[in-house]
């Protein structure tokens, strides 16, 4: 066999291994079970929403949260120096229910990211034994808080994070946004026990903390300069011995993260490199593995179909089998997490786009020009 044949065989074996990892992860990544009935008075859950220029989104979010079946809650929205009518919308809701209030954010201190500073201010004002951080663009089913609290109590967890169903309407959204769960469930072995920091992960669209655990790790102040604060908090908690649980929230919460390709490009460019903290090595190895899993077999098949020399039958067989497995894993994940399979046949194009965003993310961080919501952060 040629070198290309051996490389293609290695790609097939990698994909088989990742398939077993995906299966093990999906056994744990299940929907939260129905809520337990609280014994005595239900503990207070403080629902905390940072909002910057969210006039169009904050209303539907609050409407959905007001319908929660959990009996004891408060909602605090921090208006993070918005330039639109975000604060006025929240004030309107507070007149309907006094458990809802808005606070005005203070000026961003040096060394903080905007979201971390907003969440820090929210936590300082919260009265609850449990803190639920969620985003202004989320929509919650009536049992989302109650079922998450049930999981929290059953498992004595310190952090329960629900991963919402991601609404996608444009082609770029349908192509790229599902890769959030690809990266989480195909590549990361969440089934492994222990305090391994790099295995910490969570989704900032729904983070339910025990207040004591949140405070013990220093809260958002511990990750004040991190652009991906949700992942950073989960890693801090996991390395401290806390119990972190990621669950399928597709039946409980929905979210449309981005509404256009420029927003998507900017948002993922901000996050992809930052998610690996200071480890350039981990970033490069991870995306090399992603290339080898998600794009390599299709490139080999394209080269074979194009009649390029050096592409023999073994490489085509190995790459063809790998391509079928990759598409099968994508279909399985899409079905299991209610993502839809319409863009799975376009996987090679989507994978190439994700890798292009990763390169751009590297460039942004290397040049120290990271832009998000009107603010610029150092790399």
pLDDT along the chain (379 residues), means of 10: 90 96 93 75 94 93 95 95 90 94 93 94 96 97 95 89 92 91 90 69 95 96 91 91 92 92 90 81 91 96 87 91 97 88 90 95 80 64
Quote the pTM value. Answer: 0.91
Residue 182 · residue 358 · CB < 8 Å: no
Q: What domains does the chain contain, in order, with CATH numbers?
A: 29-169+192-257 (3.90.550.10)
Residue 47 · residue 75 · CB < 8 Å: yes
Residue 119 · residue 134 · CB < 8 Å: no
What is the reported pLDDT for 255? 94
Nearest residue to 248 (alpha-carbon basis) of 176, 131, 342, 333? 333
Burial of 368 (0-12, 13-18, 19+ CB in 10 A): exposed
Return d(Cα 4, Cα 9) in angstroms, integer: 9
What is the reported pLDDT for 191? 80
- Residue 156 CA from chain centroid, whole number: 23
What is the reported pLDDT for 252? 96
Burial of 233 (0-12, 13-18, 19+ CB in 10 A): buried
Distances (CA, A) of 56 to 9, 120, 140: 51, 24, 16
What is the reported pLDDT for 376? 66
């Amino acid at each position: 066999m040629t070198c290309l044949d051996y490389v293609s065989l290695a790609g097939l074996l990698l994909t088989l291994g990742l398939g077993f990892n995906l299966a093990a992860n999906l056994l744990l990544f299940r929907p939260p079970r129905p809520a337990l009935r609280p014994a005595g008075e239900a503990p207070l859950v403080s629902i905390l929403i940072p909002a910057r220029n969210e006039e169009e989104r904050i209303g539907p979010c609050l409407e959905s949260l007001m319908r929660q079946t959990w009996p004891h809650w408060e909602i605090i929205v921090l208006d993070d120096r918005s330039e639109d009518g975000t604060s006025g919308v929240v004030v309107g809701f507070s007149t309907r229910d006094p458990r809802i209030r808005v606070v005005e954010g203070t000026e961003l201190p040096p060394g903080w990211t905007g979201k971390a500073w907003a969440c820090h201010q929210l936590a300082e004002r919260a009265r609850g034994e449990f803190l639920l951080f969620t985003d202004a663009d989320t929509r919650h089913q009536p049992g989302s808080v109650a079922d998450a609290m049930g999981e929290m109590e059953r498992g004595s967890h310190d952090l329960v994070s629900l991963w919402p169903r991601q609404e996608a309407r444009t082609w770029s959204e349908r192509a790229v946004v599902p890769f959030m769960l690809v990266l989480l469930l195909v590549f990361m072995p969440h089934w492994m026990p222990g305090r391994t920091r790099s295995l910490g992960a969570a989704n900032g669209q729904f983070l339910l903390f025990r207040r004591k655990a949140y405070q013990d790790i220093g809260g958002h102040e511990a990750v004040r300069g991190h652009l991906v604060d949700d992942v950073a908090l989960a890693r801090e908690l996991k390395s401290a011995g806390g119990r972190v649980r990621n669950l399928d929230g597709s039946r409980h919460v929905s979210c449309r993260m981005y509404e256009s390709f420029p927003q998507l490009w900017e948002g993922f460019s901000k996050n992809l490199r930052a998610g690996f903290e200071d480890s350039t090595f981990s970033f490069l190895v991870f995306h090399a593995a992603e290339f080898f899993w998600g794009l390599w077999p299709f490139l080999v098949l394209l080269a074979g179909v194009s009649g390029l020399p050096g592409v023999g039958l073994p490489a085509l067989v190995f790459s063809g089998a790998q391509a079928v497995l990759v598409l099968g894993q994508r279909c399985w994940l899409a079905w299991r997490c209610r993502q839809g399979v319409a863009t799975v046949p376009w996987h090679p194009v989507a994978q190439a786009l994700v890798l292009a965003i990763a390169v751009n993310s590297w460039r942004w961080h290397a040049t120290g020009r990271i832009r998000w919501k009107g603010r610029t952060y150092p790399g």
